[in-house]
A and B are shown apart, each in its own frame.
Chain A
C-alpha cells in the first residue's frame, strides 16, 4: 500500500490484512502500562486538517505516537494555508520538510487524490482523513473492525446505513468496504438525501427505517449536518427525527445481536436518542478506541510493512 485514498477498489484481502494488524496491535497493547511500540521510530507523520475535527485528528495523532513516529499537526488556520497558499505548494513544502506521510482532511472531494499525485515523486504517503463528500476510508475500516469484534466475520451480514447518504463520505467508504467484505448494505434515507444513480450502487435502498431494522445485523446512523437541516432537504428536524431517527422504541425492532454504530459527532435527540447512544447495543465508544488501532495499522502498512518484509 502506497497511499490510502479510498476504500473503493480495495479488495477483501487488503482490507482484512489491515484489520488483522489492527486486532494484533490492540491485543499487543492490551493491559500494557506503556502503550508505545518502536515500529515507526524516526518516521515523520504530518496531519493537515483543512476542516475542524477533534476525533479524527486526535486519533491519528495518538496512533502515530503509539507507534513512536514524530507527529506534527498542521491546522489550516494556523499555517500558511491561511495566507492563501495552494494545496499543491503546501504539499510540496511538507514533503520537502521531510514528511514520510501526510494525513489530510479537506472540504474538497478529491483533495487527497490530488495530493497523492503531487507527492508520488517525493515518495511521501498520503492518507485520506476525509475529502469533501467523497471518502473517509479509515472511518470505514474502524467501523469494520468494530463490527468484526461484535459480530465476527462480515460475510453475509446485513448493515443499514441511515441518514444523509448524499453528502456523507462515511457512507461512501462504508458501502465500498462492507461490500468488499461480503456484507449486504441497505441505505435508508429520504429521497432528497440519496445520491443520483444510487440504483446502480451495489446496495438496496429503503425509505422505511421500521421495515429495515428487524432485518439487519447492524445499523449505522449518520450525522445530519446543520446546513442540511436548513437546506430544504426535509421539512423539519422534527419530521426527520420521527422518520429516520433511532429512537428507544425503534431499538426494540432490531434483532437481539444487532449493533448500533455512529461515526460521531452525534446529535442526540436528532438522529439518535440519548438512551440508544448510551445503551449496550451501541458500539460508539468502541469505534473511537478501534479507530486508534486501525490507524496504527494503516500507518504500519504504509510506512513499515515493506521494510519488514524485505
Chain B
C-alpha cells in the first residue's frame, strides 16, 4: 500500500452545515477543522462545498465470494462500496460454502483486508448451512480473527421459534446481534410478488405482508423475553414499522433496517414482468414506501442497508418465476436516500449520517466507524456533492453483475470522495489503486 499522504479537504461542509471549512487529514485522523487551515505538506483537494459525512456502513451486502464470483467478488464489491461512499460493509453469510464456520468468515475477512477499499465484516450464519435446524458455531466465529458480531441466515428465515429463541439467548454472551430475514415460510410458498392488486392482476403468487409481520412480532416478543438484541433485516411493510414502534416503546432491544429500493420503488414496477424488479421481500405498495420513509425519519427504522444482491444475466433475463430475487444497491443507496428522504425534507444531513453510518456502526458493533467528524477522530469520511445529479447505467457500475432497477433513472446526490482511515478509496468516480 502507498504511504499515507496528508490531505487538505478544502471548502467542505461537515453534515452540510454552516460555511465551508477546511479539514486536514493526517496519519489517518482528522488533524484540524477550520477556516484557512495551514496546509503544510498536505495534498490540497478543492471540494467546492461538498457535504462531509462519516463513512457509510452497510449492514447488509451480498459479496457472493466464495461461490458466485461470476457475479461479484470481494474486490469488485469493495470497489462498488467505496464508490458508493461506504467504508464498512457486512457481507452476508449465504455464500457457497456458507459462512457458518470460522474458516469461511476468516477467509472473507482476510480478502477484505487484502483488497483494502472498505472494511469487510463477515456475517456468520445462525444455523448450519442456513438450514434452520441446528445452531452454527456462533462462539467460534465470534472469537475468530473476523470477530463476527452479526449473525443471520439472510435469504432464509430462522422460522423455528425454539431455534430463534436459542440463537437470541446464546448471542447475548457474545455481545452479538441476530439479524432476521422475517418471512414465515408457510405463508410464502411459491410467492413471487407482494400479495396485492398488482400481483393478483398479473397472476403472480402473493407474498403477503403478514408473512413478514408475524415473524417480526414473534421475534420482538422473543427478544424481549430473552433480553437479547434483535435486528430486523429489510423491513418492507407499514405494518412491520408499527410493530417495531410498539416494541421499542416497550423497551425491546430491537433495531431495523430498510433498503433503498423499499423506500423508492413499489409494486407498480411489476407490470412488464421484468425480473430486475424481483426482490425478497418484494416491492410493496406506494402506501408502504410512504410509511417506511416516515418510520426512517422518526427513528423507528434505525438505518438504511442496501441488500446489495448481484445476479448473473441468465438469472434475470428469464421468466419472472425462474429469476433470482435481488438487486444491486451499493452505488445507488445514497442517491436514493437523497431522493426519498433529503429532498422531501424528511431527513437533514445529520439524519443521513445517522441512518447511513452512525446507527449501522452501533448495531454492527464497529467502534471505529460512524464516528463524529471531530479532531482526533478517524478520517473515515464520505464527501457528497448534494447538488449533482447522475444517470444510472448498470454497465458502468463497479459490480460484475448489472442488475440495477434504476437503469436510466436520473438520481440526485453524488459521492465525490470516500476516505478510509485517512486514505482515499474512491475519488470522482474512480477507485483508488
Residues of B near A108 (CB, < 8 A) are: 319-322
Contact between A172 and B273, CB atoms less than 8 A apart:
no
A51 CB within 8 Å of chain B: no
Contact between B319 and A8, CB atoms less than 8 A apart:
no
Of A107, A197, A200, which contacts B321 at CB under 8 A?
A107
Contact flag A86-B272 (CB < 8 Å), given A114-B319, A196-B206: no
Contact between A109 and B201, CB atoms less than 8 A apart:
no
Residue of A nearest to B321 (CB): A108
Contact between A109 and B273, CB atoms less than 8 A apart:
yes
Residues of A near B197 (CB, < 8 A) are: 196-197, 200
B contacts with A, residue count (CB < 8 A): 22
B317 CB within 8 Å of chain A: yes
Interface string of A15-40 (1 = CB under 8 A from B): 00000000000000000000000000
A111 CB within 8 Å of chain B: yes
Residues of A near B319 (CB, < 8 A) are: 87, 106, 108, 110-111, 114
> A172 CA to B201 CA in the complex, in Å?
7
B139 CB within 8 Å of chain A: no
Contact between B205 and A86, CB atoms less than 8 A apart:
no
> A195 CA to B317 CA in the complex, in Å?
27
Contact between A195 and B200, CB atoms less than 8 A apart:
yes
Contact between A197 and B317, CB atoms less than 8 A apart:
no
> A106 CA to B320 CA in the complex, in Å?
11
Contact flag A110-B202 (CB < 8 Å), given A86-B318, A87-B318: yes
A133 CB within 8 Å of chain B: yes
B314 CB within 8 Å of chain A: yes
Of B196, B201, B205, B317, which contacts A8 at CB under 8 A?
B201
Contact between A113 and B272, CB atoms less than 8 A apart:
yes
- Shortest C-beta distance, B220 to chain A (Å), equals 26
Residue of B nearest to A133 (CB): B203
Interface string of B174-202 (1 = CB under 8 A from A): 00000000000000000010011101111
Interface string of A109-146 (1 = CB under 8 A from B): 11101100000000000000001111100000000000
B204 CB within 8 Å of chain A: yes
A12 CB within 8 Å of chain B: no
Residues of B near A88 (CB, < 8 A) are: 317-318
Residue of A nearest to B195 (CB): A196
Contact between B196 and A135, CB atoms less than 8 A apart:
no
Contact between B196 and A114, CB atoms less than 8 A apart:
no
> A109 CA to B275 CA in the complex, in Å?
12
> A200 CA to B320 CA in the complex, in Å?
25
Contact flag A110-B200 (CB < 8 Å), given A86-B318, A87-B319, A196-B206: no
Residue of A nearest to B208 (CB): A196
- Shortest C-beta distance, A189 to chain B (Å), equals 13
- Shortest C-beta distance, B236 to chain A (Å), equals 16
Contact between B321 and A114, CB atoms less than 8 A apart:
no
A169 CB within 8 Å of chain B: yes
Residues of B near A304 (CB, < 8 A) are: none
Contact between B314 and A86, CB atoms less than 8 A apart:
yes
Contact between A196 and B314, CB atoms less than 8 A apart:
no
Residue of B nearest to A195 (CB): B200
- Residues on B lying within 8 angstroms of A by beta carbon are 192, 195-197, 199-206, 208, 272-273, 314, 317-322
